[in-house]
Amino acid sequence: MRQFIQQTFASIIGTLAGLILFATLGISGLVLLIVSASLEAEGPNVKDKSVLVFDLSTQIADTEPPATFTEAIAGEAAATIALREVLEAIEKATEDDRIIAIFLDGSGEGGGSGYATLREVRNALEEFQNAGKEIIAYDVDFSEKEYYVASIADTVVLNPMGAMELNGLSSEQLFLAGALDRYGIGVQVVRVGNYKAAVEPFIRQELSPENRQQTQALLADLWQEFVGTVGESRELKPQELQAIANTKGLLLPEEAQQQGLVDRVAYFDEVVADLKELTEAKEKDKSFKQISLENYGDVALRNSRDRSSENKIAVVYAEGAIVTGQGGVQQVGSDRFAQELRKLRRDEDVKAVVLRVNSPGGSATASDIILRELKLIKDEKPLIVSMGDVAASGGYWIATAASQIFAEPNTITGSIGVFGLLPNVEELANENGITWDVVRTNNLANLDTIARPKTEAELAIYQRFVNQVYNQFLNLVAEARNLPPERVAQIAQGRVWSGEDAKQIGLVDQIGGIDAAINYAAEEAKLGDDWEVQEYPYIQSFEERLVKKLTGSSIKQENVDPLTQEFRKLKEDLAILQSLNDPRGIYTLLPFDLRIK
* Residue 196 annotated among the catalytic residues of the structure: yes
Contacts of 213 (CB under 8 A, 6+ apart): 195
Instruction: Please state whether the peptide bond connecting residue 382 to the residue before it is cis, i.e. omega within 30 degrees of 0.
Output: no
Q: Phi, psi (5° rounding) for residue 105?
A: -95, 110
The residues facing 387 across adjacent strands are 357
- Of the candidates 50, 151, 386, 393, the residue annotated as catalytic is 393
Distance in angstroms (rounded) separating the CA atoms of residues 575 and 562: 20
- Alpha carbon dihedral 584, 585, 586, 591, in 10-degree steps, equals 170
Please count the CA atoms within 13 angstroms of the CA of 112 that sit on its side-chain side.
13
Q: Phi, psi (5° rounding) for residue 534?
A: -125, 135
Helix, strand, coil distribution of the chain in percent, nearest 5: 45, 20, 35
Residue 88 CB: number of other CB atoms within 10 A? 23
H-helix or E-strand spanning residue 297:
helix 293-306
Q: Phi, psi (5° rounding) for residue 474?
A: -60, -45
* Residue 381 annotated among the catalytic residues of the structure: no
Q: 3-state DSSP call for residue 581?
A: coil
Counting Cβ atoms within 10 Å, is residue 488 exposed (0-12), middle (13-18) or buried (19+)?
buried
DSSP state of 493: T
Q: Helices in 412-496 by DSSP H: which ranges?
A: 426-431, 456-481, 485-491
Kind of pairing, strands 383-392 and 99-105? unpaired
Stated length of the chain: 597
Q: Let me know: does 75 contact 551? Beta carbons within 8 Å.
A: yes
- Of the candidates 92, 196, 312, 381, the residue annotated as catalytic is 196
Contacts of 64 (CB under 8 A, 6+ apart): 80, 81, 82, 85, 539, 540
The residues facing 105 across adjacent strands are 55, 138
Distance in angstroms (rounded) separating the CA atoms of residues 73 and 23: 12
Would you please indicate which residues are annotated as catalytic (active-site) residues?
196, 393
